[in-house]
Structure 1
Amino acid sequence: MMFSKILVASDGSPLSAKAADAAIAFARESGAQLIVLSVAVMYPLLPEAGAMVDLNAFEEAARAEAQALIEPVAAAAAQGNVRCELVVRYAPDPWREIIALAEERGCDCIWMASHGRRGLDRLLLGSETQRVLAHTNIPVMVYR
């Protein structure tokens, strides 16, 4: 099966970067277009948190970081002559945004790493890949 529009989910982890490189190589061979998504995770609100944190500044910084994480993918895609669009979303659940964007853009494949960030982030986020696999009918390429 050939894919024409592939959503690449990236969190900036080393494995995610390798998965993106593999997606670029695949897209170059098959003539597919890439849509690269990075989800800036919303600030985990505790009842008193609003008084202690400038939420607008947090969102702006989170979006900027998410954009910076995927710009190298766009550069590598351009170098490989692969059409690529970057998308940043700000949301509490990355897996929901991955599926929603894939559906919105008519993607026929979702490409992502088998796991992402390590340590506390991974414990807090859980496995986004497992959630995507469980909640979509779109084919998912899991890069290990």
Structure 2
Amino acid sequence: MFRNILIPTDGSPLATLAVDAGIAFAKDIGAKITVFTVTEPFDLVSIDAEQLASTREQYEALSEVHAAEILSAARAKAETAGVPCKTDQTRTHDIYRAIVRKAEDIGADLIVMSSHGRGGLGALVIGSIAAKVLTHSAIPVLVYRKK
């Protein structure tokens, strides 16, 4: 049923667990995967510590290195598991839209992603990328939640 899985990740510990679970699932069902990361652009006004401590050039260079490390680690895990894996990254503020668009562009039939389970004020202030992907994607979404 599922043959082409998109696994978006931000490199956080929970997202890494979701990548691992997505790779294991893909191996079990004989699917291929695309691991995808979205980096937010530098903002002049930000509460992100990485942006506050950096110039635009420093932030963009560091975020490119970080994204490459995330994708390289995922690719290595997939190769070890024998799962065909592509990787990609983009830079945008509209993270959930980038995920949905990427899934559509590659013809994914499943999105596997983590959810940090923020509720209440945290969800209102920060928002939930997973909830937005669930709301806006016509493609099935498997959400990996922290236990």
Please indicate the TM-score interval, normalised by the length of the shorter structure: 0.7 to 0.9
| 1:143 matched residue in structure 2 | 144
Q: After the TM superposition, which of the residue ranges 17-26 and 36-45 deviates more from structure 2?
A: 36-45
Alignment of 1:1-144 (within 5 A): 2-46=1-45, 54-115=55-116, 125-144=126-145
What is the alpha-carbon distance in structure 1 between the residues aligned to residue 143 and residue 87 of structure 2? Answer: 20
TM-score scaled to structure 1, two decimals? 0.83
For the structure 1 residues 65 and 93, does the alpha-carbon distance in structure 2 shift closer, same or farther, using more than 3 Å as the test?
Answer: same
Please state whether the residue corresponding to 1:12 is helix, strand or coil: coil
What is the alpha-carbon distance in structure 2 between the residues aligned to residue 20 and residue 132 of structure 1? Answer: 17
Q: Is the 8 A contact 1:15 1:115 kept in 2?
A: yes
1:87-140 residue CA offsets vs partner (Å, 9 max, x unmatched): 1111112111100100001000111002289xxxx8864211011011111000
RMSD: 2.4
Q: State the shift of 1:56 in Å.
A: 4.3
Runs of 5+ in structure 2 lacking a partner? 46-53
Identity of aligned residues (%): 39
Aligned residue pair count: 135
TM-score scaled to structure 2, two decimals? 0.82
Q: State the shift of 1:5 in Å.
A: 0.4
Q: State the shift of 1:57 in Å.
A: 4.3
1:27-47 residue CA offsets vs partner (Å, 9 max, x unmatched): 11111110000111111244x
Q: Which amino acid aligns with 1:86?
A: T
Q: Is the 8 A contact 1:98 1:132 kept in 2?
A: yes
Runs of 5+ in structure 1 lacking a partner? 47-52
Q: Is the 8 A contact 1:38 1:67 kept in 2?
A: no
Q: Is the 8 A contact 1:102 1:110 kept in 2?
A: yes
Q: Which amino acid aligns with 1:138?
A: I
The list of structure 1 runs, each at least 4 consecutive aligned residues, that deviate by more than 4 angstroms after superposition, is 122-125
